Amino acid sequence: MPAVENYHCPNALAPPASPGAARAMEAMRCGQFRDAIKLFKQLVKEEGPHWRDGLAQAYAARARELAAKGMYEEAQILLDNTAAQDGTVRDPLLYVHCLVKRSRHQKASEHALKYVGTGKLAVAEAARLGEVAAALSLAAPCRLDAAVDPHSERGKWLEQAAAARQALAAWLEGKPHEDIDPLLSRISMRSDFKAVRLILKALITAPLDADRARQLMDPVSPQSPFAALRFAVEAALAAPASDLSRSSSAASGPERSFLLEVNGLSQSGCQSLAQLVNAESSGPGSLFAYLIKQIEKERADDIRKACLSLLPRVPDRLSRFEKSFGPLSAFDKSRVLALAAETRRDWDAAERHWRAATASLEATGDAQPNLALGVIYRHLAHLAGAQDGIDEELDDAAVDYLERSHRSDPDHLPTILRLIAHYRAKNRLGDWSRLIEDTLARFPAEAAVLLAAVERAACAGDLNWAIELAHKLLLLDPINPTVRKRMIELRILLAREKMRANRPDLAEQEIAEALKLELSEAPSSPLRIAAAVIAMGNAGSSAAAARLREAVHLAGGGVCIWVQASLEHLLMGGIGDGSMLRRELKAAQKAPPTKEAILSIASAVDGDATREHGAAVASLIRGLQRWLLKGATLAWSADEVRPVVAMLRQAEAYQVLAAYAKQGLARNRSEGMWHFYRLIAETKGNACVLSEADAEELGDIADYAAHNGRLHDARLIWSFLDSADDRESAKDTDVDWHLDDLISNVISGSLMSISPGEVASLIARHGEAKAVKFVAGRLQKSPAGAILPAEKLRELAHEIVEEVMAEIARPPRARENRPWQQR
Amino acid sequence: MAAALDPFTTLGVDENAGDEDIKRRYLALVRAFPPDRDPERFQVYRAAFEALCDERKRLEAKLLNNSDAALARLRLRLLAEAKPFSARASKATLCALLVEGVARASAQGESLVEP
């Protein structure tokens, strides 16, 4: 609806003279302009001509309304009703707009000229209309009034118009810039024709200096009537010949014509290009049809390739394509259908067609098809959910495709690194080692491979080999901080071994080597602590103690760092006097605990190395019980506290655990994990003493957690409940390693490596049958694969999938007011 | 420069071009349009070169994408005679552009939506 804010009563300050006038003004305010016109007409008739202005406003408002709907003729007729004796109308810009839209360019030009130099319009409106009149006077020249005083404003404007016309004509005739420049200098930069001068100057500058040409047109505003010409020149400046048709596809008709004409294309060239551009902008089907028609005119090979490239977007034209160019190969046909399926996001069909494409390629054994196979399998892995980062967890389908890609193209390093990371994450140690060894032989100087090999050697406990590999890595990349840090860690590990073997001299050597790798701007506190602990073990001097204090201070001090120092002392074999450490640890406990400090301690005692010293570590933690107890009042969430609970269970600090559970339940009674932690504390970690009701409740909590995707929590509870069965069975039978037990352990170990979450994801993504296939494949690769026949593995896989499906479909049980019992 | 062009088309090389051809063409383009003078254009060439710099990537570009290279060659042949600003536009085109500008400008003045 057009705005009516501009409407005002001729006597706005005075009250309406009559009810009729009030109704007319109300109609204007409400946007009911037809009614307003009728009412004002009546007012003019009944109350006098002073209502003519109101009537004109109503006509103009209604005309705007109609023009907005595209009814230009009707709008123009309404505005004609507002015409004064000299032919000027109420809203001249709208009037000109209507005429232009009706292609009455000459009349529009003549009408716009009526207002030039008359002073009839407000300044802003006059400026806008002046420029419109200028553009129209060039596009549709009208006869100029010869009787005008050349010194009047109107006379000057007409003189400028003549100059602009001459300059434009000179450019169109292809005259050189020496001839055009004097004509341009006649156009004033303060006249309505300023834009013409700038654009023509840009056009004659463009062949010599495109940047300068662009700059010249900067003052031409995008709202100017000359803006379309400016944009066309800019488009011609921006588009080199190779981009011409493409960049013009988004342009308007005149702009496209301009682009083609100034680039010197012939009539037929313009026509062919226009046809191609039109076909392109009409969609792939039209373009395909256009190209097929060009077989005779253009190079058939390129036409075929262009059509083949379009086929995935118009797969229904496959038979038309084969009719014109002969049958497609099985590979190309499958590839086209696969890409077409991807276009419509039908992933199952895409996978099926890509598999068909690989099947047709696998028939040949050349290197090129193998590379192509690698590309397609990687693409399939990507479709199966494997994104490009190495850290993302892969599902079985993605891994299967990546393994196929690796077999087809064993030198593709990114695939290898993804598989290495996956095998490591999934604890597939055999595959991990084999792939690293194989890759190291292929890429002996590749940093990423060397880094993976360092990790593998360290994991296998072959520290000397790990250090040798890290050394090679440092030769390749001497300032890599990650490698230096890893090398320092390896040297510390080796120093621990030496200390435990009672060879402090060799341990000191290792630490001395590690200190050489330390960057002066980033001293390593674990290394300083290790060095000080060794010094204490060797000499036990006050200087060594001071060195340790300094190292702990460097790492930030506090209980957690003194715990780390104590752990280092333990890992170094506990040689030397540990009383200083105990004293310092006790003194540090005067500071109140924080979540960060407690979590740091939990993380420090969670390593593989510390696990070997379980009893000593437990004793160390128990020494912190009072301090840890204070930490129970901190606002822990059940997720946050998980590593702390693991640490307290490890140390058998059940009293502290009970306090944490009690505080947690006080904060959030509906959180099942706090109940679990309470029950661990109450039973002192012995699931055998759980009551039947408690065991059932824990089962429900675990199910609820699994159902909500908190598989880690569910596994923790299941593992606790299972520990009761293990203890019971241990009581019933002697430890007797019969073959059946061994097989059973192998199978259950293999089954444990397949999480319900993974299986659920497989079912959701690929359906039941495929999930069974993947699980069977996974079992085949596990230790169970070596001892069970394929048929049995399939049965097992089927059972696993059915179990997970039953779990997914399990109906909610409404019981007490606890979330895991309402599921 | 138009975005998301086929890398073969962007560099102006054949689909069967090898490592050397592609590298030579890329370096020639970088010399012609150095990054300090036209960083945007350089980025486009760089991305195209990265997409084609080894055999596997070229295979990926050919197998997994709809290549515009053949279509671009057709277009180039049609444009073979084109020379930027070598000719003048026709009077009709110029007038059409001026009228288009007037239609847009007068629509803005009247708050009318100009398609």
- Kindly state whether B111 is in contact with chain A, defined as any CB-CB distance less than 8 angstroms: yes
Q: Which residue of A has its CA nearest to B38?
A: A211
Cβ-defined contact of B74 to A3 (cutoff 8 Å): no
| CB nearest to B112's CB, from A68, A252, A273 | A68
Mean pLDDT along residues A256-280: 76
Cβ-defined contact of B82 to A203 (cutoff 8 Å): no
Per-residue pLDDT band for A744 (boundaries 50, 70, 90) equals: low
- Measured at the CA of A610, the angle between CA A606 and CA A614, to 5 degrees, comes to 100
pLDDT digits (tens, 9 = 90+) for B55-100: 999 998 888 887 777 887 777 777 666 677 777 888 888 899 999 9
Q: Are B62 and B15 in contact (CB under 8 A)?
A: yes
Cβ-defined contact of A172 to B67 (cutoff 8 Å): no
Q: Return all residues near A232 (Cβ < 8 A) that are at least 6 apart.
A: A251, A254, A255, A258, A259, B97
pLDDT digits (tens, 9 = 90+) for A277-329: 778 778 889 989 988 888 777 677 888 888 998 999 999 999 999 999 999 99
Q: Looking at beta carbons, which residues of chain A come within 8 Å of B69?
A: 305, 309
Per-residue pLDDT band for A478 (boundaries 50, 70, 90) equals: confident
Q: What is the pLDDT of residue A336?
A: 94
| CB nearest to B110's CB, from A97, A247, A301 | A97
Closest by CA to B91, choosing from A248, A244, A138, A184, is A138
Q: What is the pLDDT of residue A734?
A: 43
Per-residue pLDDT band for A749 (boundaries 50, 70, 90) equals: low
H/E element holding A159? helix A153-172
Q: What is the pLDDT of residue A401?
A: 92
Cβ-defined contact of A227 to B89 (cutoff 8 Å): no
Q: Please write down the long-range contacts of B57-65, taking CB distance under 8 Å and 24 or more positions apart.
A: B59/A371, B59/A372, B59/A375, B60/A375, B60/A379, B61/B6, B61/B7, B61/B8, B62/B15, B63/A335, B63/A372, B63/A375, B63/A376, B63/A379, B64/A339, B64/A375, B64/A379, B65/B6
**What's the rounded Cα separation, in Å, for the pair A408 and B102?**
64
Per-residue pLDDT band for A184 (boundaries 50, 70, 90) equals: very high
Q: What is the pLDDT of residue A514?
A: 87
**Does A15 have pLDDT greater than 70?**
no
Query: Taking a contact as any Cβ pair under 8 Å apart, which residues of chain B between 20 and 49 contact chain A?
Result: none
Q: What percent of chain A has pLDDT over 70?
A: 85
| CB nearest to A375's CB, from B63, B71, B111 | B63
Kindly report the average pLDDT of chain A as a whole number.
82
**What's the rounded Cα separation, in Å, for the pair A671 and A731?**
34
Per-residue pLDDT band for A251 (boundaries 50, 70, 90) equals: low
CA dihedral for A276, A279, A281, A287, sign (positive or negative): negative
Per-residue pLDDT band for A12 (boundaries 50, 70, 90) equals: very low
**Does A53 have pLDDT greater than 70?**
yes
Count of CA atoms in the C-beta half-sphere (13 A) of A237: 23
Is residue A519 classed as helix, strand or coil in its secondary structure? Answer: strand
Query: Taking a contact as any Cβ pair under 8 Å apart, which residues of chain B between 57 and 96 contact chain A?
Result: 59-60, 63-64, 66-79, 81-91, 93-96
**Does A243 have pLDDT greater than 60?**
no
Mean pLDDT along residues A374-388: 82
- C-alpha pair distances (Å), A247 with each of A213, A232, B48, B77: 19, 11, 19, 16
**What's the rounded Cα separation, in Å, for the pair A227 and B106?**
12
Q: What is the pLDDT of residue A823?
A: 39
Q: What is the pLDDT of residue A765?
A: 65
Q: Which residue of B has its CA nearest to A305?
A: B70
Per-residue pLDDT band for A728 (boundaries 50, 70, 90) equals: low
**Which of B62, B75, B111 has the most A C-beta neighbours within 10 Å, making it the best mutation to test the interface with A?**
B75
Q: Please write down the long-range contacts of A139-142, taking CB distance under 8 Å and 24 or more positions apart.
A: A139/A105, A139/A109, A139/B94, A139/B95, A139/B96, A139/B98, A139/B99, A139/B102, A140/A105, A140/A106, A140/A108, A140/A109, A140/B95, A140/B99, A141/A109, A141/A165, A142/A106, A142/A109, A142/A110, A142/A113
Q: What is the pLDDT of residue A752?
A: 59
**Does A731 have pLDDT greater than 70?**
no
- Predicted structure pTM score: 0.55
Lowest mean pLDDT segment, chosen from A71-80, A185-194, A268-277, B32-41: A268-277
**What's the rounded Cα separation, in Å, for the pair A308 and A298?**
16
pLDDT digits (tens, 9 = 90+) for A556-600: 888 889 988 888 888 888 777 678 888 888 888 888 999 999 999
**Which of A121, A226, A229 has the most B C-beta neighbours within 10 Å, making it the best mutation to test the interface with B?**
A229
Closest by CA to A232, choosing from B38, B79, B95, is B95
pLDDT digits (tens, 9 = 90+) for A73-120: 999 999 998 888 888 898 899 999 999 999 999 999 999 988 888 888
